Chain A
Amino acid sequence: MDLALTEEQEMLKTAVRGFIQVEYPKETLLEMAAEEQPVTAEPWQRLVATGWLGIAIPQEYGGEGGSFTDAGVLFEELGRGPVPGPHLSSCVLAASAILEGGTEEQKQEWLPALARGERILVPAMTEASYSWAEKDVRSTVRQNGGGLRLDGTKVYVFDAVSATHLLCTARSEESNEVGLVIVPVTADGVEIRSLPGFSWNLAEVKLNDVSVDQDSLVGSSFARGWDALQRAIARTIPVMCAYQVGACQSVYEMSVDYSRTRIQFGRPIGRFQRVEDHIINLVNQLDAARWTTYETLWKLDSGKPATDSIHLAKAVGSAAYYQACNFAHEVHAGVGSVTEYGLTLHTTASRTLYHYLGDPQFHRRRLADALSL
C-alpha cells in the first residue's frame, strides 16, 4: 500500500504547475472567459508544444503513453486554473474513442494529430432531449453515393467552438445503429453557435445535410460506434474527475487564504465558526472527490474491475466541485461574485462539468446497476 505519487509523477506535477502559473495567470483566464472565442490561440499552442496533452495516447500513435494516474496528475493541475480548452474532449475522450473503435488507418491518421494538437476532434453527443442514452440519439446518417450524409442538431456540445472536427453520434437510417462520424467544422451545412449565459464553452451544432467521406465513419461500421464511445467515456471520466479535484483544491486554497486575510469585527473571518463550517464542508467535498478519483485511477492502472468506481468518482466528484464553489461563495460573499476576483471562473466551470458525461444522479443510478442491486 502506497498512496503517494511516484517521483516521476511528482516531477510532472511540479512542471505542469509551474507552466500554468506562467502561461495561464488569472488575467489570461479572465480574458479567455470574456472573449467567448476559441481558446486554441496562445497560450494553448505552447501547452500543446509540451507534448503533455498526448498523455492518454499510446506512444506507438505519437502520444506519451502515460498511465491513468499520470493523466490524472496532469489534469489535476489543469483543473487548478481552471485551464479551458479541448484537452479533455479532444486529447482524451475523442482520442480514446478512436483508440477503442477506430480502424488501424484511422488510429494512424488521427491519434498523432490529436496528440500534437494539429487537429481538434470534439465529441458532439447530446441533443434536444438531453440525455446520455443511445435511444435519444436522433441525428441521422445515410449512405449517399460513395459517402455519408448527416442531418440533425447537437446541443450542449462542450468545446465545440474550439474544434477543427466534430465526432458526431448519429443513427444510421439503414441499420438504425448509432455510429461515430467525423465531420470537419468547415464542411458545408455545419453551423456552430456558442450558447450564451452561465454555460462554460457549450454550443449548438447544426448538421444540415452535411456530406463527408465514407472513411469518416469510425471503425468503418455503425455497429462499433456506440460501444466504443461508452468505453471511451469510461476511460475519460476518471481523468475528468482529476481535473475537478484540482479545481476543488484551487477553490479551497482561495477560500482559506481569504478567510485568513479578510478582517471583519476586528478579526480574520476564519475565526468565526460559521465561516469555519464552510471551509470544512469544502475540504470534505474536496477530499471525497480526491480519494474516489485516485482509487479509480489506480484500479484502471492495475487492471482491476472499475465500473462501480468510475460511477462513484463521477457522482461524487461533480457534486463536490459544484458544492465546493457554493461553499467558497459563502466564505467570500460579495467579492466572490466580482468577475475579476476569479472565483466565478470555477463556479461557471463547475456547473457545466456537473452534467458533462452524465450528472451525479445518472451515475448514482448506474452505480446501483454496477453493484447488482
Chain B
Amino acid sequence: MDFEPTYTPEQEEFRQDVREWLAENVSPDIAHPPDSINITEEQYQLRRGLGRKLGEKGWLWATAPEEYGGGGLSLDHAVVIEEEVDSYGLTIPPYYDSGGRLGGASIMVWGTDEQKQTFLPPIFRGQVRTWQLLTEPEAGSDLANAKMSADRDGDEYVINGQKIYVGSSLGCDYMWTITCTDNEAPRHQNLGWFMIPADLPGITIQPMELLISGGESGAGSGVKNTVFFDNVRVPAFNLIGGENEGWKVATTHLELEHGTGGRIGRNWLVDHLFEYCRENQRNGQPLTKDPDVRDKLIDIYVEAEIARLFNLRNYWMRHSKAEITYEGPQASYWRKMSGLRMSQSILDILGPSALTFDPQWGAAEGHMEAHQRSAIVAIHPGGTADIQKLIMARRIGIGREVREKAGALA
C-alpha cells in the first residue's frame, strides 16, 4: 500500500512549474470571506480569471482528454496540481461550478461525440461556469419525481417549471438540469437531461434567503436561487443521453455527487481551530492546555481524519477503477454527520464566540460562526444524510431484493 503519490523526478519538476506558475498567477485578494455570501464580484472575477488561465494550461481538468479541452495528464500530475492549489486554500475549479464538474463527467459518459465536442471544451478550459439544477419543490430526495417539463416541438424542447436551491451568487453561463420528458411514461422512464445556455429567454433567477448556503465542495457558492423556466426553447441537440433516458444519466451524476469522486487535501477548519486554540488564552493559559478543550479537539481531529481517509480511499478507488459499491455515499454521510458533531464540539470549546462574526468578540475571523451554520445546512446538498444511508443499504445488498450497482463513470 502507498497512501501518497509516488513522485518521479519529472513530477517534482512539474511541481516546481506549478508552484512558480501559481505564485505568479494567484492574487492575494482571492481569499474567500468565511461566509461566501459576502464574496464580491471582483473576487469572483479573480477566481474565474484564474480558472481560465488554469484551463489554458490544461490544469483545470487535468485528467480529462485533450481532444475535449482537458489536460490529458496523468493522475499523479492531477494530484500535484490539487496539492499545490490546496496550499492556497483553493479548490479546482477555484469557484462554484457544480454543473461543470458533474455535468461534464455525465456528458463524458452519455454524450454523443458531437455533444462532447460542443459542451466539454468550454467547461474543461474554464471558459464557462455551470450550475446544476436538480431539486424542485416536489422533488427533493425523490429526484425521479422531477416535474419540470420538456416538450418536444420540432428541433427544440420547450421547458416549463421551477428548480430550487440552485447555484450561487453572480450568475452562470450554463444550466445542467433534469426534466420530465414524458408525463405519461412510468417512473424512471420519463426523464431527460439538458445543458441549457443561461441567457435563453424565459429564465428567471430569484435569490433565496437561507441560514447559509451550504455545500460540501469547498468552493463556497454564496446565495442559492429559485430558477423559473417559462416556455424556454432549448435546441434538441442539448438533450444529453436521449429522451426518457435521463435516469441512467442521473446515476452517473449522482454517483459523483454522492461522494464517489473522492478528494485529497486538508480540512482547513481543523487547522483554523487548532491555531486559534494555541494562540488564545483562557484563565491565563492557552486553550489547548485545558484538559476538556484537548479532549474536544481530539474528538474533532478524529472525525476529520476518518473523513480524510474515506475521501482519499474514494479518490484512489475512482482513479484506479476499483469496484465501488457503498463507498461514495459513506464518505458523504460521514462528512455530513461528522461536520455536525464537530460543530457541537466547537461550540463546547469556544462558547458564544463561535456564534458571532463580530470583529471584536467572534472567534477566528468568523470562520467558526460560519461553520455553526454551514454544518447544519450541509446535511442536505447532494442528497440528505438519510438518502446517503438509503443508497449505502442498497449497495450493501440489504435495502432491496437485488443489490444496486454503482453509476457508470468515465
Q: Which of A2, A287, A291 contacts B2 (CB 8 A)?
A: A2
A284 to B338 CA separation, bound complex (whole angstroms)? 12
Among A4, A279, A280, point to the contact of B1 (Cβ < 8 A).
A4
Give A300-329 interface residues, CB cut-off 8 Å to B.
302, 312, 315-316
Q: Does A371 contact B (CB under 8 A)?
A: yes
Binds A, one of B52-60, B195-203, B389-397: B389-397
Say yes or no: is A209 at the interface (Cβ < 8 Å to chain B). no
Is A271 located at the chain interface by the 8 A CB criterion? yes
Which of A2, A283, A292 contacts B392 (CB under 8 A)?
Answer: A283
A371-B301 contact, Cβ under 8 Å, with A1-B6, A276-B399: yes
A64 interface contact, C-beta 8 A: no
CA distance A260 to B398 in the complex (A): 6
Q: How many A-B residue pairs have CB under 8 A?
A: 115
Is A284 within 8 A of B330, CB to CB? yes
User: Residue B309 contacts which of A279, A295, A364, A367 (CB distance < 8 angstroms)?
Assistant: A295
Among A280, A283, A291, A299, contact of B306 (Cβ-Cβ < 8 Å) = A291
- Provide the A189-226 mask, 1 if CB < 8 A to any CB of B, else 0: 00000000000000000000000000000000000000
Is the pair A373, B274 in contact by a Cβ cutoff of 8 Å? yes
Closest to A269 in B: B398
Q: Tell me if B294 counts as interface (CB < 8 A to partner A).
A: yes
Q: How far is the CA of A2 from the CA of B4 in the complex (A)?
A: 8
Chain A neighbourhood of B4, CB < 8 A: 1
A341-373 toward B: CB 8 Å interface, digit per residue (1/0)?
000000000000000000000001101100101
Q: Mark B325-369, 1 if CB is under 8 A from A, else 0.
A: 010001001100000000000000000000000000000000000
Q: Is the CB of B1 within 8 A of A298?
A: yes
Question: A297 vs B298: C-alpha distance in the bound complex, in angstroms?
Answer: 21
Nearest Cβ on chain B to A315's Cβ, whole angstroms: 7
Answer yes or no: B81 CB below 8 A from chain A CBs: no
Q: Are B294 and A368 in contact (CB under 8 A)?
A: yes
- B3, A315: Cβ atoms closer than 8 Å: no
Residue contact B398 to A284, C-beta cutoff 8 Å: no
* B23 at interface by CB-CB < 8 Å: no
Identify A283's interface contact among B297, B298, B313, B326, CB under 8 A.
Answer: B326
Minimum Cβ distance to chain B for residue A112 (Å): 29
A123 on the interface (CB 8 Å rule)?
no
* Chain B residues near A365 (CB-CB < 8 A): 294-295, 298
Taking a contact as CB atoms under 8 Å apart, the answer to whether A2 and B1 are in contact is: yes
**Contact between chains at B306 and A373 (CB < 8 Å):** no
Task: Looking at the assembled complex, report how far the CB atom of A98 sits from the nearest CB atom of chain B, in whole angstroms.
Answer: 28
Q: Least Cβ distance of A94 to chain B in Å?
A: 27
- Nearest chain-B residue to A5 (Cβ)? B1
CB atoms of A291 and B313 under 8 A apart: yes
Q: How many residues of A contact B (CB 8 A)?
A: 39
**Any A CB within 8 A of the CB of B305:** yes
Contact A367 B398, beta carbon cutoff 8 Å: no
Q: With A and B bound together, what is the CA distance between A368 and B278 in angstroms?
A: 12
A315–B302 alpha-carbon span in the complex (Å): 9
Taking CB atoms and an 8 Å cut-off, the chain A residues in 113-152 that contact chain B are none
Would you call B322 an interface residue if the criterion is a C-beta within 8 Å of the partner chain's C-beta atoms? yes
Assess whether B316 is in contact with A291, with CB atoms less than 8 Å apart. Answer: no
Tell me how far the C-beta of A318 lies from the nearest C-beta in chain B, rounded to whole angstroms. 13
> What are the interface flags for B380-403 relative to A under an 8 Å C-beta threshold, 1 for contact and 0 otherwise?
000000000110110011111000
- With a cutoff of 8 Å between Cβ atoms, the chain B residues found around residue A299 in the complex are 3
Question: Quick check: is B154 within 8 A (CB to CB) of the other chain?
Answer: no
Please determine whether B399 and A270 come into contact, CB atoms closer than 8 angstroms: yes
Tell me how far the C-beta of B307 lies from the nearest C-beta in chain A, rounded to whole angstroms: 10
* B310 part of interface (Cβ distance < 8 Å): yes
For B284-324 the 0/1 string (1 means CB < 8 A from A) is 00001000001101100110011001101100110010100
Contacts of B76 in A (CB 8 A): 1
Point out the residues of chain A lying under 8 angstroms from B186, CB to CB.
Answer: none
Inter-chain CA distance A2–B5, complex, in Å, is 8
- Cβ-defined partner of B310 (8 Å) among A1, A271, A291: A291
Q: Which residues of A contact B3 (CB under 8 A)?
A: 1, 3, 294-295, 298-299
Q: Tell me the residues in window 73-101 of chain B with beta carbons closer than 8 Å to chain A beta carbons.
A: 75-76, 79
Q: Are B399 and A284 in contact (CB under 8 A)?
A: no
Closest residue to B6 on the A side, CB-wise? Answer: A1
Task: Compute how far the CA of A135 lies from the CA of B258 in the bound complex, rounded to whole angstroms.
Answer: 50
Give the residue of A5, A280, A287, A312 whose beta carbon is less than 8 angstroms from that of B393: A280
Cβ-defined partner of A276 (8 Å) among B79, B317, B334, B389:
B389
Point out the residues of chain A lying under 8 angstroms from B398, CB to CB. Answer: 256, 259-260, 268, 270-271, 275-276, 279
Q: Contacting B397 at CB < 8 Å: which of A260, A275, A297, A312?
A: A260
For window 43-81 of B, CB contacts with A under 8 Å fall at 75-76, 79
A368 touches B313 (CB 8 A): no
Q: Which of B294, B302, B316, B330 contacts A312 (CB 8 A)?
A: B302
Known: A288-B306, A371-B274. 4 other contacts (CB 8 A): A273-B393, A280-B392, A367-B301, A367-B302
List 22 A-B residue pairs with CB atoms under 8 Å apart, sorted by A's residue number.
A1-B76, A1-B316, A2-B1, A3-B316, A268-B398, A270-B399, A273-B390, A276-B393, A280-B396, A291-B306, A292-B305, A294-B3, A295-B309, A298-B1, A302-B2, A315-B302, A364-B298, A364-B302, A365-B294, A367-B298, A368-B297, A373-B277
Going nearest first, the 6 A-B pairs with the smallest beta carbon separation are: A270-B398, A291-B309, A276-B393, A373-B288, A288-B306, A368-B294
